[in-house]
Amino acid sequence: MSAGTFCPICHHLLTASQWNQQDFTACPNCQAPTRTLVFPAMARIVAAPRPEPRTETEAGCFFHTGSRAENVCNVCGRFLCSLCTLAFGSQKLCPDCIYKKRRESPLFRDQAILFDNIALLLVIVPVLCLVYIYLGLLFSGFALALVIIGWRQQRTLVPRSKYRFVLAAGLSLIEAIGWIALVWLIVWLIQSHPTEFGL
């Protein structure tokens, strides 16, 4: 059970009389009109798990054989006592499965690398910073490599369009061709007018 609810603006503790009101009530601290919807979970008291000892006829926990099994892991099917049961929404898992699945399972993923944004950054920022003149081909190559890697490896939990990849690939190719053309032009100018360049 939480300590209570708080004003979203000043984070001051709101009184229980302000919960689930039809109209807005003023925050006691900042006077901002505030409304709070409180759900039954607020009143839930979460007690520390205390596994009970098992009897002869009962199944025991996989990890603590002396404790009575109360749940089954949704992934591996092991019997678990209340201490070993870890709830993720409607799923109940054992610590082993969480350890094994923490990287591969979408259930535990808390962030994703956006390869498409990085690739776009690599093609746009060098041009804006004029670094493109010196290292344009290198940045374009990196961006193109990221597009190729990220096309399959980008593991966002939510649907994401691929147009940024296409845009980054197109721009990196244009920049690479542009850079090669620029270098070729400079070399051609130096070769055709060596005296003007002091050669």
Report which of 125, 123, 129 is spatially closest to residue 178, judged by C-alpha positions: 123
Counting contacts by CB under 8 A, is residue 7 touching another protein? Answer: yes
Q: Does residue 163 touch another protein according to CB under 8 A?
A: no
Per CB under 8 A, the list member of 13, 16, 21, 24 interacting with another protein is 24
Which of 49, 99, 125, 155 touches another protein by CB under 8 A? 155
Burial of 49 (C-beta count, 10 Å sphere; 0-12/13-18/19+): exposed
- Asked if residue 12 binds another protein (CB under 8 A), the reply is no
Piece in contact with another protein (CB under 8 A), picked from 32-40, 95-103, 175-183, 189-197:
32-40
Single out the segment in contact with another protein by CB under 8 A; choices: 48-56, 74-82, 85-93, 191-199.
85-93
- Interaxial angle between packed helices 115-129 and 163-192, expressed in degrees from 0 to 180 and rounded to the nearest 10: 30
Which residues 6+ apart lie within 8 Å of 135 measured at CB?
Answer: 126
Does the protein bind another protein through residue 109 (CB under 8 A)?
Answer: yes
For residue 177, state whether it binds another protein (rule: CB under 8 A).
Answer: no
Interface with another protein, residue 37, by CB under 8 A: yes
Tell me if 82 contacts another protein by CB under 8 A: no
- We find the least distance from the C-beta atom of residue 93 to another protein, in angstroms, to be 14
Candidates 91, 60, 59; CA nearest to 73 is 91
Which residues from 121-140 bind another protein, rule CB under 8 A?
A: 121
* CB-CB contact of 19 with 38 (8 Å): yes
Q: Could you tell me how many residues of this chain bind another protein (CB under 8 A)?
A: 42
| Contacting residue, 17, 50, 56, 89, with another protein by CB under 8 A | 89
Contacts with 20 (C-beta within 8 Å, 6 or more apart), sequence order: 36, 37, 38
Q: Report the C-alpha gap between 79 and 76 in whole angstroms.
A: 9
Question: Of 19 and 63, which CB lies nearer to another protein in the complex structure?
Answer: 19
The closest alpha carbon to 84, from 50, 123, 134, belongs to: 50
Asked whether the beta carbons of 115 and 153 are under 8 A apart, the reply is: yes
Binding site for another protein (CB under 8 A): 1-2, 5-9, 14, 19, 24, 27, 32-42, 46, 88-90, 106, 109-114, 117-118, 121, 152, 155-159
